[in-house]
């Protein structure tokens, strides 16, 4: 049941960001209560009317207000979400980002209590979990790096592969061989662009969303990635995880090598044993 709660919470978060009220009400208990940490908001919202009032307040003040998830933690009857708030003001146009943690408690496959916290530590305390240690010497990436990674993957999602290729050094390398056995590495902008075009032919319509970005030191970072959606041309539905391990050049931050792995764990193990290229 707890893994099912994680998936329900993931769907609730996705419906929140899409403002899909039909799905939200389907996944929300009538006695729902939400305690918001966000400054300037009324602190507690109750029931379906409270949920609608919350969104009315948010959407009247902000042209954009999203809460992208980075990682979900299973706490049995509760789910903790490591995430961030991203906003752009309606009148001012000012943009901002703030890391937060959101805990959801569920019963009968519906969210009945939601509470946000200013940091992950408070969230772990609220759901009764111990905060995990850093993974294999890696640590959470800086907000600047997270924003860069998010922007790069949006180039794919928006169909702008040239901008994606521009993030690589002129002799940059893209290596899928640890997932697609026998596939050679691709080097240089022309080769990278041809490979991205081939993937686009099959997977246009499938999103690549970074779930978590970890800094492994020395200009290297790992991205836990969710690939999901339905290929427009292929008709293939996909929802799976993978991970990229990147090495960047110190002088300008360009990517010199990107390795694809089936899991984040394998990417981090490789980084610990053999950093991917020279930075």
Main-chain dihedrals φ then ψ at residue 23, nearest 5 degrees: -70, -40
Mean pLDDT of 23-42: 82
Residues 68 and 164 in one domain: no
Residues 232 and 162 in one domain: yes
Domain boundary among 105, 127, 149: 127
Residues 95 and 206 in one domain: no
Residues 117 and 149 in one domain: no
Residue 13 lies in a domain: yes
Residue 134 lies in a domain: no
Q: How many domains does the chain have?
A: 2
Which stretch of 105-109, 148-152, 196-200, 264-268 has the lowest confidence by average pLDDT? 196-200
Residues 143 and 261 in one domain: yes
| Sheet hosting strand 168-175, strand order edge to edge | 139-140, 206-217, 220-230, 237-248, 255-261, 168-175, 186-187
Label residue 21 by pLDDT band (50, 70, 90). very high
Residues 221 and 249 in one domain: yes
Residues 220 and 149 in one domain: yes
Residues 168 and 76 in one domain: no
Instruction: Compute CA distances 122 → 5, 107, 111, whole Å.
Output: 20, 22, 20
CA atoms within 13 A on the CB side of 199: 18
For residue 62, give the 3-state DSSP assignment. strand
Residues 146 and 65 in one domain: no
pLDDT at position 41 over 70: no
Q: Using one digit for the tens of pLDDT, what is the confidence trace for 177-200?
A: 887 777 789 999 999 998 888 777
User: For the whole prediction, is pTM greater than 0.85?
Assistant: no
Residues 149 and 120 in one domain: no
Domain boundary among 104, 127, 150: 127
Domain that holds residue 165: 139-273
Domain boundary among 127, 162, 194: 127
**Residue 211 in contact with residue 226, Cβ under 8 Å?**
yes
């Amino acid at each position: 049941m707890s893994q099912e709660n994680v998936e329900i919470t993931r769907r609730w978060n996705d419906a929140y960001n899409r403002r899909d009220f039909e799905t939200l009400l389907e996944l929300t208990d009538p006695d729902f209560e939400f305690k918001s940490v966000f400054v300037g908001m009324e602190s507690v919202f109750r029931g379906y009317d409270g949920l609608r009032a919350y969104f009315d307040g948010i959407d009247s003040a902000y042209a954009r207000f999203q809460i992208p998830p980075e990682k979900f933690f299973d706490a049995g009857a509760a789910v903790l979400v490591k995430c961030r708030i991203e906003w752009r003001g309606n009148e001012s146009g000012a943009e901002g980002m703030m890391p937060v943690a959101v805990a959801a408690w569920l019963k009968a496959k519906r969210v009945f209590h939601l509470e946000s916290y200013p940091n992950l530590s408070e969230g772990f305390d609220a759901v009764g979990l111990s905060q995990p240690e850093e993974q294999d010497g890696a640590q959470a990436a800086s907000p600047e790096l997270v924003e860069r990674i998010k922007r790069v993957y949006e180039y794919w999602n928006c169909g702008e592969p040239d901008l994606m290729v521009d993030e690589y050094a002129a002799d940059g390398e893209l290596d899928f061989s640890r997932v697609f056995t026998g596939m050679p590495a691709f080097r240089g902008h022309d080769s990278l662009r041809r490979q991205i075009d081939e993937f686009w032919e099959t997977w246009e319509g499938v999103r690549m969303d970074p779930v978590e970005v970890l800094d492994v030191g020395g200009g290297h970072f790992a991205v836990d990635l969710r690939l999901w959606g339905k290929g427009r041309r292929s008709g293939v539905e996909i929802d799976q995880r993978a991970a990229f391990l990147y090495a960047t050049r110190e002088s300008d931050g360009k990517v010199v090598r990107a390795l694809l792995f089936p899991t984040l764990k394998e990417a981090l193990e490789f980084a610990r044993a053999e950093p991917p290229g020279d930075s």
